[in-house]
Amino acid sequence: MTARHYLRPAGFIDVPFGLDGKVARLAGGMLWFSAVEIVSGEHPVQLFPVEGIEPLLADLGLEAAWRNLVAPRSALELGARTVRLDQPQVAGIVNATPDSFSDGGRFDGPDAAAEACFAQAAAGAAIVDVGGESTRPGAKPVWEGDEIERILPVVQRLAGSGTAVSIDTRKAAVMEAALGAGAALVNDVSALGHDERAAGVVAAAGCPVVLMHHLGTPETMQDAPRYARPVLLEVFDWLDARIEAAVAAGIARSKIIVDPGIGFGKTVQDNLRLLNGLSIFHGLGCPIMVGASRKRLIGALAGEAPADRRLAGSLALALKAADQGAQLLRVHDVAETVQALKVWRGLRDAALASG
């Protein structure tokens, strides 16, 4: 069997002016790249300049992958809100749960959860992602009725205020309830694989959906996770297959967002490899969401800092993702991340203006 090849944008530059034909714009966003790594599981990584790459792409059958890298990503239409994806956007996290790894139990009741969501929107979150079931390592499943009871009043209040709401769930019944209450995006950590009705619910709603990579279930995913191939390529192929399954179920490809699933069935080294190689996922042709906020990875690298003392590490990972073109950053600390991105954007604007 011929080894599959993958394209990973590299050689990012600040200013594209005067470099026609030598650089390409990544996914219609604020980054330009001057080289690509051609990666396969059987050969060393090879680096090639963008200039004159067309014959090589044709020889390796990578024309479609190249088109995926450079095609602009469609804005998300979320109810009355339009979220553009030509620059990084923040999705705030609010877990209306007693046992989520970071903020579980903080929002005791729908009023407290809703107020937290409003505060995140006021701080600059383009989307607020509401969950009613913890999917931290070792978490037990929650009955869908309890999950609906937790999230429905929150979603109703947010949607009624015009806030763009995402529902973080694996269950079709919860998706239906939340979408009926005004949620405009489904974020499924199982990539529509947990509930056989889920893909049909999303397709019928015509809403955007996040497909996240995972290995195993929340109860078992951190029990010595292993990958047969390089994790970057295995996660890419898995997401590619889930995209095709979603499209076959009637979901428009333009509505699909992918998430490599930091911390969901990965070792610390797996997570680091995924974050270092993140730009490869633009080859899927979908916007990328990254949820590394307060994750165990940060504690492992920083003296076992507890979840509520991982802000600096979370910001470092958010900016790492932005530097590789991630369009959506899912975070707990919205105001701080928004400020960091404003500085990131200011640096890019200044470089372009001086160019």
8-state DSSP, 104: T
Q: Which of 276, 144, 300 is nearest to 222 (CA)?
A: 300
Contact by Cβ (8 Å): 203, 176 = no
Name the active-site residue from 157, 295, 296, 310.
Answer: 295
CA angle 121, 122, 125 (to 5 degrees): 35
Cα–Cα distance measured from residue 290 to residue 284, given in angstroms and rounded to the nearest whole number = 15
The answer to whether 345 is a known catalytic residue is: no
State the residue for tokens 């095709």: 244
What CA–CA distances, in Å, run from 279 to 112, 159, 325?
37, 33, 7
- The tokens describing 106, both together, are 């903080």
- The tokens describing 62, both together, are 């990578």
Q: Which of 212, 206, 161, 199 is nearest to 179 (CA)?
A: 206
The answer to whether 106 is a known catalytic residue is: no
Strands 328-331 and 89-95: parallel
Q: Which of 122, 95, 93, 127 is nearest to 108 (CA)?
A: 95
- The tokens describing 132, both together, are 């009613």
Residues found in the chain = 355
8-state DSSP, 74: P
Residues annotated as part of the active site = 295, 330
